[in-house]
C-alpha cells in the first residue's frame, strides 16, 4: 500500500510512484489502494510533471507567534508614554529590521513635530526665525528708516504694526527668557517699561547686529528695531508676561541703572 501524505504531499513528492489525483496517495500498482481509482496516464511515474516547490522566505515555513507586548500597537503606546520601555520592546521584538527602522523613523518625526510644532519647523527651514531683523541695511540706513514712537503708544499699537521700523526709548525692568527652543539664535529678551517707570510692559528681543549688549535693570536705552506681535516670556522669578515685542537690531545706552 502507498502512504497517504495529505497536506504535505507536495513536500514529500515521490517521482518513482504513481499518484492518485483524488486522495494524493502514492502507489506502485495500477489502482489506488485507498480509493480504488485507476491511475490516469498523466499521473503515472515518469509521466507526471514534477511539482515546483516554492521556497519560503527566510528559509522556513514556520509561523512566528508575536507576544502581545511585542505587537506594534503596544510598542507605539510605550514609545509615547514610556519611551525607554518602548525602545527595549522594539529592539527585542521579532519584527524585521526594516520594519523596526521605519517605525523608529516615524516615531522620531512624530516626536519632533509634537515638541516643536509644524510652524516653528517650517520657520527654521525657511530661515524666517533666523533673520528677525533686516541685515541688508547699514547702521546709518537702518536708523534713518526707523520712526520714533513713545513707549506707551507702542504698547497700545505694537501688536498690529506688522514689522514697522521703530525707535523707542525704554527702561530695562528685568531679564526674560522665551522657552521656544526653535528661536535659540536670539535667546536674549528684556522686560521694559517707559523711562519714567510706567507699569505697562514692552518686550525687547536682543537681535543686536553689532555685538551683544549687556543691560541691567534701570538702564535707559534707545532701541532701533522692527515691531513684532505679542510674545510670551518669563522673568527671573518665572512669572509669565505677554506683551508687544520689538526685535532690536541696534541699542544705545542713554543712562545707566547704576546711577
131 inside domain: no
Q: Same domain for 238 and 177?
A: yes
Name the pLDDT band for 15 (thresholds 50, 70, 90).
Answer: confident
List pLDDT tens digits, range 194-231: 999 888 999 999 887 766 668 899 999 999 999 988 98
Q: Same domain for 89 and 190?
A: no
Q: Same domain for 169 and 83?
A: no
Q: Same domain for 69 and 146?
A: no
pLDDT of 7: 35
Q: Same domain for 75 and 158?
A: no
Q: Same domain for 184 and 102?
A: no
List pLDDT tens digits, range 77-96: 887 788 778 778 888 888 88
Asked if pLDDT for residue 162 goes beyond 60, the answer is yes
Asked if pLDDT for residue 62 goes beyond 80, the answer is no
Query: Which residues form the domain of 58?
Result: 1-63
Burial 121-134 (b: 16+ CB within 10 A, else e): eebbeeeebeebbb
The CATH number assigned to the domain holding 172 equals 2.40.50.140
Percent of the chain with pLDDT over 90: 30
Please count the structural domains in the chain: 3
pLDDT of 122: 52
Provide φ and ψ at 101, rounded to 5°.
-60, -45
8 inside domain: yes
> Could you say which of 27, 43, 63 is where a domain stops?
63
Alpha-carbon distance of 165 to 10, in angstroms, equals 83
Amino acid at each position: 500500500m502507498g502512504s497517504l501524505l495529505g497536506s504535505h504531499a507536495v513536500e514529500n513528492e515521490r517521482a518513482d510512484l504513481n499518484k492518485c489525483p483524488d486522495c494524493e496517495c502514492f502507489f506502485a500498482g495500477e489502482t489506488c489502494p485507498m480509493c480504488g481509482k485507476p491511475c490516469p496516464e498523466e499521473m503515472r511515474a515518469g509521466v507526471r510533471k514534477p511539482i515546483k516547490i516554492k521556497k519560503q522566505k527566510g528559509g522556513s515555513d514556520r509561523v512566528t507567534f508575536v507576544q502581545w507586548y511585542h505587537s506594534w500597537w503596544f510598542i507605539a503606546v510605550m514609545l509615547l508614554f514610556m519611551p525607554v520601555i518602548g525602545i527595549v520592546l522594539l529592539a527585542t521584538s521579532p519584527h524585521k529590521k526594516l520594519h523596526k527602522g521605519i517605525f523608529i523613523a516615524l516615531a522620531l518625526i512624530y516626536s519632533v513635530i509634537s515638541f516643536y510644532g509644524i510652524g516653528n519647523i517650517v520657520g527654521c527651514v525657511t530661515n524666517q526665525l533666523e533673520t528677525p531683523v533686516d541685515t541688508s541695511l547699514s547702521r546709518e540706513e537702518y536708523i534713518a528708516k526707523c520712526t520714533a514712537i513713545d513707549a506707551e503708544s507702542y504698547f497700545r499699537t505694537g501688536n498690529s504694526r506688522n514689522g514697522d521700523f521703530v525707535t523707542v526709548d525704554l527702561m530695562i525692568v528685568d531679564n526674560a527668557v522665551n522657552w521656544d527652543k526653535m528661536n535659540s539664535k536670539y535667546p536674549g529678551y528684556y522686560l521694559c517699561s517707559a523711562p519714567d517707570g510706567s507699569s505697562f510692559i514692552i518686550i525687547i528681543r536682543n537681535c543686536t547686529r553689532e555685538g551683544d549688549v549687556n543691560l541691567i535693570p534701570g538702564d535707559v536705552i534707545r532701541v532701533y528695531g522692527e515691531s513684532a506681535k505679542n510674545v510670551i516670556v518669563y522673568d527671573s522669578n518665572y512669572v509669565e508676561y505677554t506683551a508687544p515685542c520689538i526685535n532690536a537690531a541696534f541699542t544705545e545706552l542713554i543712562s545707566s541703572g547704576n546711577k
